[in-house]
Amino acid sequence: MPVTDSSDAPAPLFDTLVVIGPGLIGASVLHRARRDRTIARRLVAVDINPAFRERVRELGIADEVTGDAAAAVADADCVMLCVPVGAMGEVAATVIPAMKPGAILTDTGSTKVAVIEAIRPFLRPDIPYVPAHPMAGTEYSGPDAGFATLFDNRWCLLTPLPDSAPTDSVEAVRTLWQLCGARTRDMAPEHHDRVCAIVSHLPHLLAFTICGTADDLADETRSEVLEFAASGFRDFTRIAASDPIMWRDIFLSNREAILEMLSRFLEDAQAMARAIRWGDSDYIVDRIERGRSIRRSLLENRQA
């Protein structure tokens, strides 16, 4: 029987990975890196919130946990920003001057144009920056929400800029996400923001709004909402339970694309209202058929 010697294991991708903001996304990366030991030899977590730092220590997913971002990144080979998109610029301003030459900076922000613009003023020529966005999540947030398999078979979109990272750094970040279980695709940041506006941001906007509308009808319907809400309304409430700060930042930082998708949606909703008013059965059935086929193809892709 062959003897398996741990020294035969390939060296991890990075020596030291620093995750700034070990919430749902950052803690999930740390869980995966801790579990597989292929991503980094040493894991460091930085959080502004002392209670979250304590939880990360208790979870045992980092070798070092600190609130001092500048000190933490000094030895890092890769620094991953997992803070809300509105905080990316201020964190970048603190960490970039403290990073060693050649260390890679990446982020996981849900919007890309605004995050890149927020980070760009602090970039250094010797710090490659590779923006990324894992298309995976849940309605939960904070360190306790993280888990190692979050990214399995999900997309991670990379939006590398022609002038801010050599190819080997882009490939290192691609490999990082593949080691987390994700498939990767490269995209221009503007295109990314339009795609995410329709597949992620607008659905959340609709979920927050429908829950708000139901709540505004509280006097008449609160007991019905609570008592009789079956799967349909519940499916909306799952995503409506998402973190308010994260979603405020996403809406404000992808304003134009979201407003464009919302106005297209409102036109289509008006057309549906008209079809209902005038009894246009063909139109109604056609729209529902399209919804069903989208659902089927999503399920097929997920199983592939």
Ligand X SMILES: NC(=O)c1ccc[n+]([C@@H]2O[C@H](COP(=O)([O-])OP(=O)(O)OC[C@H]3O[C@@H](n4cnc5c(N)ncnc54)[C@H](O)[C@@H]3O)[C@@H](O)[C@H]2O)c1
Ligand Y SMILES: O=C(O)C(=O)C[C@]1(C(=O)O)C=C[C@@H](O)C=C1
DSSP class per residue in 123-143: --TTS-EEEEEE----S--SG
Contacting range for ligand Y; rule: CB under 6 A; set: 54-62, 132-140, 164-172, 294-302: 132-140
The yes or no reply on residue 195 touching ligand Y (CB under 6 A) is no
Contact of residue 130 among ligand Y, ligand X, none (CB under 5-8 Å per partner type) = none
The yes or no reply on residue 84 touching ligand Y (CB under 6 A) is no
Specify the length of the chain in residues.
Answer: 304
Q: Is 93 or 298 the residue whose CB approaches ligand Y more closely?
A: 298
Contact of residue 83 among ligand Y, ligand X, none (CB under 5-8 Å per partner type) = ligand X
Contact of residue 59 among ligand Y, ligand X, none (CB under 5-8 Å per partner type) = none
Cα distance between residue 34 and residue 186, in whole Å: 27
Return the residue matching tokens 């695709």: 185
Whole-number Cα distances in Å, 127 to 161, 245, 282: 13, 29, 57
Contact of residue 48 among ligand Y, ligand X, none (CB under 5-8 Å per partner type) = ligand X
Beta bridge partners of 106: 80, 130
Chain residues 206-265 in contact with ligand Y, contact rule CB under 6 A: 239, 242
Contacting range for ligand Y; rule: CB under 6 A; set: 30-38, 115-123, 135-143, 265-273: 135-143
Across 76-113, b (16+ Cβ under 10 Å) vs e yields: bbbbbbbbbbbbbbebbeebbebbeeebbbbbbbbbbb
Cα distance between residue 304 and residue 6, in whole Å: 33
Contact of residue 46 among ligand X, ligand Y, none (CB under 5-8 Å per partner type) = ligand X
The yes or no reply on residue 200 touching ligand Y (CB under 6 A) is yes
Q: Is 15 or 54 the residue whose CB approaches ligand X more closely?
A: 54
Interaction site with ligand X (CB under 6 A) = 20-26, 46-49, 52, 82-85, 87, 91, 108-110, 133-134, 137, 141-142, 145, 243, 246, 250
Q: What is the 3-state secondary structure (H, E, C) of 207-266?
A: HHHHHHHHHHCHHHHHHHHHHHCCHHHHHHHHHHCCCHHHHHHHHHHCHHHHHHHHHHHH
CB of 124 to ligand Y, least distance (A): 27
Contact of residue 128 among ligand X, ligand Y, none (CB under 5-8 Å per partner type) = none
Backbone dihedral region of 37: left (phi > 0), alpha (psi from -120 to 50 degrees) or beta? Answer: left
Please report, as ranges, the residues that interact with ligand Y according to CB under 6 A: 110, 135-139, 200, 239, 242
